[in-house]
Amino acid sequence: DIEIVTTEMLKSKITYIENKIKNILKESENTRLIKEGINTLIIGRPNVGKSSILNKLIDEEKAIVTDIEGTTRDIVEGNVVIEGVSLNIIDTAGIRETTDIIEKIGVEKSINLIEKADLIILVINNNEFITKEDVDLIEQTSNKNRIIFINKIDLDSRIDKSIIEGKNYVEGTTFYEKGLDSLKSKIVEMFNLDKIEKSSFTYLTNARQITLLKECLLLVENVKEGLSKGEPIDLLEIDIKRTWELLGDVIGENYSEELLDQLFSQFCLGK
Ligand code: GDP
Ligand code: MG
């Protein structure tokens, strides 16, 4: 039956294309990280130890550390190289509910940075009860590359562990430098820093191309799902055509409608 053959053939081709796209996206992401570094954001409530963590990571007293809430008013940046890849670290003003208009701007700035970061280090104070701000931050960063750092384990524990259960977290203290090595290992693991090929600068570095390719991936995944559900091929054809067009855009070549129609006419679509 020609229709079944077409479906099977499409399935294998689509899977092949899906894997290719995934690999290119992964490689492109790695290339970007090697070239530009990992944009890392340290966030958390005031006084949990964010600036202390920055200082320990970069091995320099760059950010001012005091026990006064709101010491870090604007962002402080630092840099450290791990496994040949640069961590561009930003230490932020503590995030808390505030009516102070200036502090509010600082807090909003911190929250906006979350979207742009490649990695979030969310710091929680082991010695205090979990607050609404902690919970909000955990939720706001749940779809990001995030490591929770439970700081101040030299003090009594007051946090409710169930809140971080199953999440990627490290316990430590900047006082005795506990947990900082584990934090670094987790970063290496998260981005496969010890495995990525540092000399290969192939693939896409253009943000537009990457966006197009991500769109292609969604379409291809749709087609794949449609195929497995047995949806009619003429329906899936729309997405396949669109993928083809987008791939043309990625490499800067566009293919005419006629060519597409000619190609698709070779499939028996059971019309
Ligand atoms: P930030 O406001 O989140 O940047 O916090 P800081 O790094 O400025 O630290 C706030 C206060 O907590 C300072 O007094 C630090 O000395 C103290 N602190 C930081 N880390 C630890 C820790 O691991 N244990 C204890 N006991 N205190 C800490
Ligand atoms: Mg600070």
- pLDDT digit string (tens) for 43-66? 999 899 999 999 999 998 888 787
**C-alpha–C-alpha distance, residues 246 and 24, integer Å:** 15
pLDDT band at 270 (very low <50, low <70, confident <90, very high): very low
Lookup result for tokens 């290119």: 24
174, 178, 180, 183, best to mutate for ligand 1 pocket (most atoms within 8 Å of CB) = 174
This prediction has a pTM of 0.76
| Token output for 257 | 């409608």
- Range name among 100-114, 134-148, 230-244 with the lowest pLDDT average: 100-114
How remote is the CA of residue 154 from the centroid of ligand 2, in Å? 19
- Range name among 24-38, 116-130, 155-169, 244-258 with the lowest pLDDT average: 244-258
Question: C-alpha dihedral over 138, 143, 147, 150, to 10 degrees?
Answer: 10
* pLDDT of 148 over the 70 cut: yes
* pLDDT of 108 over the 50 cut: yes
pLDDT band at 2 (very low <50, low <70, confident <90, very high): low
pLDDT of amino acid 149: 98
**C-alpha–C-alpha distance, residues 1 and 72, integer Å:** 70
When comparing pLDDT for 183 and 194, which is higher?
Answer: 183
| Token output for 111 | 């929250």
**C-alpha–C-alpha distance, residues 63 and 72, integer Å:** 8
User: Of 2-11, 139-148, 188-197, 208-217, where does the model show the most confidence?
Assistant: 139-148
- Tell me the pLDDT tens digit for each residue of 195-243: 877 665 556 667 788 889 999 999 999 999 999 999 988 899 999 999 9
Mean pLDDT over each residue of the chain, to the nearest integer = 86
* pLDDT of 94 over the 80 cut: no
How remote is the CA of residue 216 from the centroid of ligand 2, in Å? 42
Q: Look at the alpha carbons of 92, 98, 103, 106 in this order and tell me if their dihedral is positive or negative.
A: positive
**C-alpha–C-alpha distance, residues 242 and 220, integer Å:** 10
- Ligand 1 environment, Cβ below 6 A: 44, 46-52, 65-67, 71-72, 94, 151-152, 154-155, 173-175
- Tell me the pLDDT tens digit for each residue of 151-186: 999 999 999 999 999 999 999 999 988 999 999 999
* pLDDT of 258 over the 70 cut: no
